[in-house]
Amino acid sequence: MISITSPNALEAIAKEAKNLQIYPDQKSTLLREALAKKFGLADGNIICGNGSDDIMQILASTYLNPGDEVIISKNTFSLYELVARIFGGRLVMVGLKDHALDLEAIARALTAKTKIIFLTNPNNPTGTIFTAGQFDSFMKKIPENVLVVVDEAYAEYVESKEFPDTIKFVKEGKNVVVLRTFSKFYGLAGLRIGYGLAKKELIAPMFRTKMPFNVNRLAQVGALAALGDKEFLDKTYKTNVEGKNFLYPELDRLGLDYKKTESNFIFINLKKSADECFLAMMKKGIIIRPLTSFGFPEAIRVSIGTKEQNEKFIAALNKPG
Ligand SMILES: Cc1ncc(COP(=O)(O)O)c(C=O)c1O
């Protein structure tokens, strides 16, 4: 994780702090206009939330009725499951295939009761993607009444040219909701701001369900400033690519089994206790994520950091205990 925040965002937030006696804009108008321009959409295609977590909850509260089926992949980000449960959805869990989302199996899990499908691309915690070709054939199998939510929290890190253009489906009027966030690439996780992109007919009801002031003033101005901070964004992308180029040969040298990533973290299968590795690394001042709670008790997720952080991690991994 290159967790340095956009300097432009920090400056905008500091300036906005003097206006905190005023309620925020309920519609995050300026930010939605900027996002609309960036993606070639209208502002009616965009809703902002208190993190993309908030958009997931708004989605479920707007569209999910008790007993509706929600298809989710196993061993991935847990929040889809939580929101589905809160609103009485019936979970249909589909396993990964070779540590990646199995779109064919997900399509086979469809029933007349399916309401929402959650897809994560790139996937957390494995860093894999499904391609444009795979998504195209998947969408051909999905009935009109099913909502396909594609969580692209890590999209800005993707290098692969095969990453799907999901916004094309939004423009075509399909039942696709794309989720994005300022928490990862933009380094603003503590600010809590994310957004959803979808056709107007899907977004408008969500505005009626959300809490009026769900996005605070600082988040609105901070995100807007970060969005235009090209120098910071280019640097973040470059540092992540350089980190991968350093870490892959080092992990090969150590004989470790890992997945090539399209994100800002690497999934490493240690083939021994991830929790023990976590404790050993903590003693060396390094925090890694043991993936026990994701259902991988022998794997860890390591954020790609700065050159110094990556070197420190490899040195620590070299000398366990
Ligand atoms: C796949 C995925 N989606 C969404 C989120 C949450 O993002 P936000 O901070 O915007 O709520 C995370 C955070 O870890 C994530 O990994």
Segment 143-181, tens digit of pLDDT: 999 999 999 999 999 999 999 999 999 999 999 999 999
Q: In 27-162, at which residue ranges do the beta strands (DSSP E only) sit?
A: 46-49, 69-73, 90-94, 114-120, 147-151
Say yes or no: 102 and 247 in one domain: no
* Count of C-beta atoms within a 10 Å radius of residue 71: 26
Residue 56 lies in a domain: yes
77 lines ligand 1 (CB under 6 A): yes
Residue 107 lies in a domain: yes
Domain endpoint, select from 228, 252, 270: 228
The helix (H) or strand (E) run that includes residue 13 is helix 7-16
Cα distances from 232 to residues 13, 183, 229, 272, in angstroms, run 16, 14, 6, 38
Residue 38 lies in a domain: yes
124/246 Cα distance (integer angstroms): 21
- Please write the tens of the pLDDT for every residue from 104-123: 999 999 999 999 999 999 99
- Please write the tens of the pLDDT for every residue from 43-75: 999 999 999 999 999 999 999 999 999 999 999
Looking at every residue in the chain, the average pLDDT score rounds to 96
Say yes or no: 53 and 137 in one domain: yes
3-state secondary structure of 95: coil
Q: What pLDDT score was predicted for residue 319? A: 75
Q: Is the pLDDT of residue 88 over 80?
A: yes
- Please write the tens of the pLDDT for every residue from 292-306: 999 999 999 999 999
Q: What pLDDT score was predicted for residue 3? A: 47
Q: Is the pLDDT of residue 7 over 70?
A: yes
Say yes or no: 66 and 151 in one domain: yes
310 lines ligand 1 (CB under 6 A): no
57 lines ligand 1 (CB under 6 A): no
Say yes or no: 256 and 128 in one domain: no
Share of the chain above pLDDT 90, in %: 97
Residue 82 lies in a domain: yes
CATH of the domain at 254: 3.90.1150.10
Say yes or no: 205 and 292 in one domain: no
52 lines ligand 1 (CB under 6 A): yes
pLDDT band at 214 (very low <50, low <70, confident <90, very high): very high
Say yes or no: 249 and 220 in one domain: no
Atom of ligand 1 nearest to the CA of 194: 10
183 lines ligand 1 (CB under 6 A): yes
124 lines ligand 1 (CB under 6 A): yes
Look at strands 265-269 and 299-303 and give their pairing: antiparallel
CATH of the domain at 132: 3.40.640.10
Residue 129 lies in a domain: yes
Residue 94 lies in a domain: yes
Say yes or no: 109 and 142 in one domain: yes
Say yes or no: 15 and 111 in one domain: yes
- From the CA atom positions of the chain, what is the Rg in Å? 20
Model confidence pTM above 0.75: yes
Cα distances from 78 to residues 22, 216, 301, in angstroms, run 35, 25, 15
Atom of ligand 1 nearest to the CA of 76: 1
Q: Is the pLDDT of residue 308 over 80?
A: yes
Q: What pLDDT score was predicted for residue 320? A: 54
Number of domains in the chain: 2
194 lines ligand 1 (CB under 6 A): yes
Domain endpoint, select from 228, 243, 275: 228
Q: What pLDDT score was predicted for residue 268? A: 97
Ligand 1, atom 12: closest residue by C-alpha:
153
Q: Is the pLDDT of residue 1 over 80?
A: no
In the reported structure, the alpha carbon of residue 79 is separated from the centroid of ligand 1 by a whole-number distance in angstroms of 8
Say yes or no: 212 and 267 in one domain: no
Domain endpoint, select from 228, 258, 293: 228
pLDDT band at 212 (very low <50, low <70, confident <90, very high): very high
Range of the domain at 286: 231-318
Q: Is the pLDDT of residue 128 over 70?
A: yes
Residue 2 lies in a domain: no
Say yes or no: 265 and 144 in one domain: no
Mean pLDDT of 267-271: 95
The number of helices, as runs of H, and strands, as runs of E, in the chain is: 12, 11
* Count of C-beta atoms within a 10 Å radius of residue 279: 10
Residue 125 lies in a domain: yes
Say yes or no: 201 and 258 in one domain: no
Say yes or no: 32 and 151 in one domain: yes
Q: What pLDDT score was predicted for residue 4? A: 82
Share of the chain above pLDDT 70, in %: 98
Q: DSSP for 150-178?
A: EE-TTGGG---TT---HHHHHHTT-SEEE
Q: Is the pLDDT of residue 230 over 50?
A: yes
